[in-house]
Structure 1
Amino acid sequence: MQKNPIIPFILIMAFGIGLIFFMSIDGVGNKAELAATEEGAENGGGEASAGEFDPEALAQGKCIGCHGNSYEGTGAAPALVGTALSEDEVKDVLANGKGIMPPGLVPAENLDAMAAWVKSLE
């Protein structure tokens, strides 16, 4: 007597469908928590939970893609660590862009704090 080889595949499929079903129920139950997480991600992580601007959080969300994880520079993006630019020049680059860097990555009201943070990198 031969066993039917399709039975294990049907059992695995049924298990997978059940797993997806229960995971989606868990997602519906955590809808408010997920919405709060997504809202924070849309802001680029630029704001701390107390509503204060956090330059490092913004840099982690928007700058490391080009400047690298340790801000040492990669390819065409220069190093932020030990930059030779003055704080005013850094603010100008943040506001208007330069080379491959697009303008407006930092909100205008936070330019001073972001430029000071960039200059503080050693």
Structure 2
Amino acid sequence: MKKTLILLSMLLAVSVTACARKDGTTTPSPAPAGSPAASPAASPAASPGGTTAAAGQTIYKQNCVSCHGDNLQGGVGPNLTKVGGKLSKDQIVTVVSNGRGAMPAFKGRLSDSDIGSIADWLATQK
């Protein structure tokens, strides 16, 4: 029983740390073929906040893919393919900023502008 608890604790710790780097820096990665970058929702259309969907998607790829998947399919974190139909942009900002459940808070790791860009982009995923 103790081994199982220790293993689960280690898995959770690795999962949480994989979601973002502690120093707040990110490493850009190119979008693979067939990823959301190739979808119409990822086109660089301007959002109401003046950011672009492409900027939100790029920030997502740099910080969220390890838990939520390159196609929003989920994995360690939940599936986000239709998150825009379930949560408003403001609700998404709150979750990204403050965290939820095992998801860490990104306030202080990402700028308010970056969090807004991610929320803009995720809000279009319906």
CA contact 1:67–1:79 (8 Å) conserved in 2: yes
Q: Distance in 2 between matches of 1:96 and 1:82?
A: 21
Alignment match, 2:93: 91
Alignment match, 2:78: 78
Structure 1 residues 94, 71: CA separation in 2 closer, same or farther (over 3 Å shift)?
same
CA contact 1:94–1:106 (8 Å) conserved in 2: no
Cα distance per residue 1:26-78 (max 9 Å; x no partner): xxxxxxxxxxxxxxxx44439xxxxx772111111211101112111114x11
Q: Structure 1 stretches of 5 or more lacking a match?
A: 1-41, 47-51
Structure 1 residues 78, 71: CA separation in 2 closer, same or farther (over 3 Å shift)?
same
Q: Structure 2 stretches of 5 or more lacking a match?
A: 1-24, 30-50
Moved >3 Å (runs of 4+): 42-46
CA contact 1:44–1:58 (8 Å) conserved in 2: no
Q: Distance in 2 between matches of 1:44 and 1:93?
A: 22
TM-score (norm 1): 0.52
Aligned length: 75
Larger radius of gyration: 1
Q: Give the structure with the larger helix fraction.
A: 1
TM-score (norm 2): 0.51
Alignment match, 1:60: 61
Does 2:28 correspond to 1:45?
A: yes
Amino-acid identity (%): 24
Q: Distance in 1 between matches of 2:96 and 2:69?
A: 17
Higher relative contact order (CA 8 A, sep 6+): 2
Letter in 2 for 1:68: G
Q: Distance in 2 between matches of 1:90 and 1:115?
A: 5
